[in-house]
A and B are shown apart, each in its own frame.
Chain A
C-alpha cells in the first residue's frame, strides 16, 4: 500500500489486522515463501551450535563435560514453554476473534511442542543422574514441566476428539487457556520454592551467570531449535490448510453430483 492511499483512507488500514491471513490462498503463498527461510538457517544454526557445544566449548569447572547436555536441554525447555504459549495465544484469537487459522495453528503446534517437552524431560533426566545423583525428583520445576507435557497430550487428544471440528477447537482452546497457568509456575518455580533444579542463569536485568564462551553455542542452538520449530509448525499448518481445502472441494463435488 502506498503512502498516498494510506492518506486517503485513514480508517481502513487499522481494521486490516491479522484477519488478512485468514484467507487460505494468501496464507499458503506466504507460508510457502517463508518456509525455506526458516528451515535452512534453522538446520545450519542447530548443526553449528551442537558441534560447537558438544566438541569445542569448554567443560564446566564443576560439572565437567556433563554441562554439554545444556546445549540441547535449555533450547528444548524454552520451546516447550514457548510452544504452549503459542497455543494459548492462538486459543485467545480463536475464542475472541474466531480466527479460522488460529484453530488450525493451535492444533498443529501441539505435537512438535510435546516432542520438545519430552526432549527437555529426557535430557534433564540424563543430566540429573550424573550431577544430582537422581534420574528424577519431585521438585517444583520438574513436576511443573511434567504437568506441561501432560497438558500437551491432553490438548492434542481433545482438539481431535470431536466429529465436528469446531467443537474440538472450542474445547481445546479452553483447555489450553486453563493450562496456561502452568507457564508462570514453571518460570518462577525455582524462585518461589526450594528446588533441586538450579535457579535462573539468565535474567532480564542482570548479567548472565555464564561465561561468554559457553553462551555463544547456546545462542546458536537456541536460535536454530526455534527456527526449526517454526518451520515444522509452518509446514504442518500448510498441510492442514491444504487438507481442509481438498476436503471442501470433495464435499462440493459430491453435493454437485447429488444435485
Chain B
C-alpha cells in the first residue's frame, strides 16, 4: 500500500466517523431543530399553557373571522395539518400572503382554553412558481380551482395551459 493510498483510506475513515457523529447529533436534537410543531403534535404531546412555541400548518378554509376584542381588531382562525386543528387568535398586521388554505407559522403560546395566542404570524410560501396568466388559464380550462386545494402536478402545467383551447377539460377523468 502506497503512502498516498494510506492517507486516502485514513481520510475516508475520518469522514465516516465525522459523518456518523454528526448524523447521531442531528438525530438527538431532532425536536429542537424543527422550526414549528404541527396541530397533531400539540394534540398528542399537550405542551404546558404559557410555553412559547411555534405552530405551523394550513389556515383552515372558512375559519378566518375578524373580531373586535376590547376595541382592538382581532383575527381568529384555525390552523390544521389535515388531522387536527388548533384555534389561533392574533392582534396585529398579517403578512400579505396570509389567506385561507395558506401555510403559516404562528409564534405564541397556548391559553388555558386550548386556544393559541399568537404574538407573531409568518406566512410560508410553497415551492410552486407560476405566472398569474398560467393560473388564470388553469382556472379557465377547469383544471384547477385554488379554493379546492393544491395545483395540479407541475409537469402538466405546460400542456394544460398551452392546449387548453383545443382540449376539453378532462379534470374529472384525470383525477
Interface residues, chain A, with chain B CB atoms under 8 Å away: 58-63, 67, 70, 92, 95-97, 130-134, 137-140, 177-178, 181, 185, 192-196, 198-201, 206-214
- Per the bound structure, the CA–CA distance linking A138 and B26 in Å amounts to 16
Nearest CB on A from B26, distance (A): 7
A interface footprint on B1-14 (CB within 8 Å = 1, 0 otherwise): 00010011001001
Chain B residues closer than 8 Å to A214, beta-carbon distance: 129, 131
* B contact face: mostly helix, strand, loop, or mixed: mixed
**B126 x A198 contact (CB < 8 A):** yes
Residue of B nearest to A130 (CB): B96
Whether B155 lies near A207 (C-beta < 8 A) is: yes
Separation of A136 and B166 alpha carbons in the complex (Å): 47
| Residue of B whose beta carbon sits closest to that of A60 | B129
A194 near B158 with CB under 8 A, answer no
Chain B residues within CB distance 8 Å of chain A: 4, 7-8, 11, 14-15, 18-19, 22, 26, 30, 33-38, 56, 94-97, 105, 120-135, 153-155, 157-158
Pairwise interchain contact B35-A194, C-beta atoms closer than 8 A: yes
Q: Known contacts being A96-B4, A194-B34, A207-B155, is A131 close to B95, with CB within 8 Å?
A: yes
| Chain A residues, Cβ within 8 Å of B30 | 193
* Interface residue from B19, B26, B122, B153 paired with A133 (Cβ < 8 Å): B122
Q: List 29 A-B contacts (CB under 8 A).
A: A58-B134, A62-B126, A63-B97, A70-B129, A95-B7, A95-B11, A96-B11, A131-B125, A132-B125, A133-B120, A133-B122, A134-B122, A138-B35, A140-B35, A177-B15, A185-B22, A193-B35, A194-B38, A196-B35, A196-B105, A198-B125, A201-B127, A201-B129, A207-B153, A208-B154, A209-B127, A210-B130, A211-B131, A211-B157
